[in-house]
Amino acid sequence: MNRIFLDVHALQTVPPSNLNRDDTGAPKTAVYGGVPRARVSSQAWKRAIRTYFKDEHLLDPAELGVRTKKVVELLADRITGLDASVERETALKLADETVKAAGFKTEVPKRKAEQAKKDGSPAPAPESKYLVFLSSRQLDGLARLALEGAADITAFLKTKENKARAKELADTRHSVDIALFGRMVADVADINVDAAVQVAHALSVHRVDNESDYYTAVDDKNTDEETGAGMIGTVDFNSATLYRYAALGVHQLAANLGQGLREDEPRTEPVRRAVEAFVQAFVSSLPTGKINTFGHHTEPDAVVVKLRTTRPISCVAAFEDPVRSDGGGHLREAADRLAAYTFDIERAYGDPGTTLTWVLRVGPATQKLADLGTETGTLRELAAAVGQAVAERLEKPA
């Protein structure tokens, strides 16, 4: 099999902030190289990436998925959307049967049903027992199938052929974020999708001890007799230069996405667009924990992207020995270390014949990284260059 991996490395400085909290409200931490570090969990950052896809309209909404238990209602909406003459109750029935044929168990939520009985309102729609992640395109396919068998849906879906079609519709043409981040449905093993992306927890390149900000707030309506604050409290925070890393199995993404969706586009188009969107979203997304308190809106100071035919390699070990500030921040030393480590690890384990490298960087502190690969001027250029190279490599026979 033709193996293609993309690994993305970023150095990003965040000012005092609390991007990702633990149960006490303090920023998450880890221990690495024997000292405490700031940590942002991979889950938090993946959520930020998904949100970024949506907010920045990086991809057509039809390519994005929705995670819900209300899959029956959602499908019923599609059915009435396609054919307005179908009554709501019929649409729900059609949807329920189709969802079940696709392999999901559904049930009417008990508490809602009892409440509806009390109120005399119509019975609620069945819900799937687990969160189901379906793309818009998948829902459209299922809606059309349901309408095809609308005359007698039970008999229609009883035939082996139609049942298989329902299953297939739920299992092919995965939306981009399902293809990237995977789908877990606990009771339908055969339509699970394994994620093509591996996102590591972001770690600070230096020692970080959380700090605590004690604050008081004035009650504007206090009279002179009532001295003291309206309220007091503390907010925990830290500031950090983070090393962020993700690896993308391009061949796996291609398998998850399927080939060209339209006649008029190249076979590799869906993968190219997904890769571009991922690079852009991974670089620019930011978890929003306490963002209005701290306003930690930053972009990475440096990004290194590698396209390989052998295993992806994390460079986190460059920072196992924590960077110590010389009074001028941590970025310059971090960039120097990342450049030196990348050279070393590539010499020892890399595959210089087939590995392509791109660099996007800001400011003189990141100068040493310039020699690692092709410098790109903007994030958009970086994403386009990576997408182009991925498409070319996919076109090549194994």
Decide: is 370 part of the binding site for other proteins (CB under 8 A): no
The kind and range of the H/E element at 237 are strand 231-249
Decide: is 23 part of the binding site for other proteins (CB under 8 A): yes
Decide: is 254 part of the binding site for other proteins (CB under 8 A): no
* CA distance readout (Å), 191 to 116, 156, 184, 214, 303: 33, 22, 8, 50, 35
Smallest distance from other proteins to CB 231, Å: 25
Smallest distance from other proteins to CB 397, Å: 17
Q: How many residues bind other proteins (CB under 8 A)?
A: 57
Residue among 200, 356, 370, 379 that touches other proteins (CB under 8 A)? 200
3-state helix, strand, coil in the chain (%, to 5): 45, 20, 35
Task: Return the range that interacts with other proteins (CB under 8 A); candidates 60-68, 108-116, 168-176, 375-383.
Answer: 60-68
Decide: is 320 part of the binding site for other proteins (CB under 8 A): yes
> Which of 382, 241, 203 is CA-nearest to residue 306?
382
Helix ranges restricted to H, 309-378: 331-349
Return the residues of window 273-312 that contact other proteins according to CB under 8 A. 309-312
Return the residues of window 332-351 that contact other proteins according to CB under 8 A. 337, 340-341, 344-345, 348-349
Decide: is 111 part of the binding site for other proteins (CB under 8 A): no
Which residues of the shown chain bind other proteins in the complex (CB under 8 A)?
Answer: 1, 3, 5, 22-23, 28-34, 37, 41-43, 66-68, 70, 131, 133, 186, 189-190, 192, 194-195, 198-201, 203, 245, 247, 249, 251-252, 309-314, 316-318, 320-321, 324, 337, 340-341, 344-345, 348-349
